[in-house]
Structure 1
């Protein structure tokens, strides 16, 4: 049992060293500047939570009126409130803003960055090759050089395509004699 406790103590003592090794090459100034808006949001929300807590009033509307009136003196003392509920509200607001920014960036549309809008190119034989079956008879002829596999389950599922094709006109060339 003492070996387990000694192992846990050893691991806990090694945490600062491991963190320093993992974060040694991170630019601390860049990290600080990237997180500054979230820290400022947390600071502001901490100050507003303190003002809400100390403002007189029985109901939310009376407290809101007092908070609005007291906003001008909000930063007369630059130190944040160290009251636990105020700190918790400030930290939660900073984290909430960070999560909102994270999810907004994660769900952003995927654009071709660095490419001009409308800069598409013509496809070539390599582009259509994954969509063709190696057996000629297992393909739908689209043009003389392009074919589309008829198999509904290709070897790689990302190359599966809808096989609905509408042909308008005749592909037969009539020779004039």
Structure 2
């Protein structure tokens, strides 16, 4: 568009040379008499515009007129800039709620994200070119749930994943969402016996997913602010856990691919400090796997873990057992033994997933951390490999 404007200006300037040449030829006979003669002759020349007399000063007069015209055009173009008078120190100002709402809202009321009573934004970011990510900061009782979370849940215009301390949101909106065609699923860490089951092993597509799961588990079970003086034990424990998870993923039937079975295998890893040659049931299991497939990834990690002395191996096992100790609880073992959440469906149909956590106990927050990580991984994979980069 800017290039087209420049071409139009150039054409107009070239056409402007025609009247300049004409004017130079009209006044050329009077040039020898100086400015008084030009002023005297000019009215007569204008009254007879086509009475052109060529003389020895004609060429000189036309060239001078064209030079003056060119200088004038140059000055004019050099001053045509986008000046914003009075805005030298910026033009930012407080927005008007009505103007912001009019600019960003969708004409269909149900296809909006609600920010306030008067401001909303359409869900189609390609129309308004704004990010829908929102950070809401407020203390306890500030109205985050009542004024923002609940109204947007009741819009029922997308799938939802909701972190719900105390279960207030699912209690107040769950029935409404079901009536609007949603599948409501609940990971209930308040009453695990009533919860949908969640098994992270179901969502392990490849070796990278296994690595992410173990890394996330160790990171989310590390107390906030703590720093280990010797990371060797955590690193070695993660190698043992990787060996166990890889074994279950590739060698065990589907109903045994879960954390309760990891705990069973860990308990079978007996170490006798007075007998370095002793083989536990777990050692025999991996020995048979090595005979069948020496390059198996589970064997590689197990051999890396098993390269220490019996005393070192015992310490590594204790470190890992401490990380996984909550899976000894029958309630958590039952919750993670199978899977009912079907995370990929969040990107394909109307699903509301609520994660209920105690607001006064962080013991099981690591499971929610794993859940959120796997939700993102599943939806990214689904968008990239099935829907061409964007979920329906």
Regarding TM over 0.5, the answer is no
Q: Which has the higher contact order (CA 8 A, sep 6+)?
A: 2
- Between structure 1 and structure 2, the one with the greater Rg is 2
TM-score (norm 2): 0.19
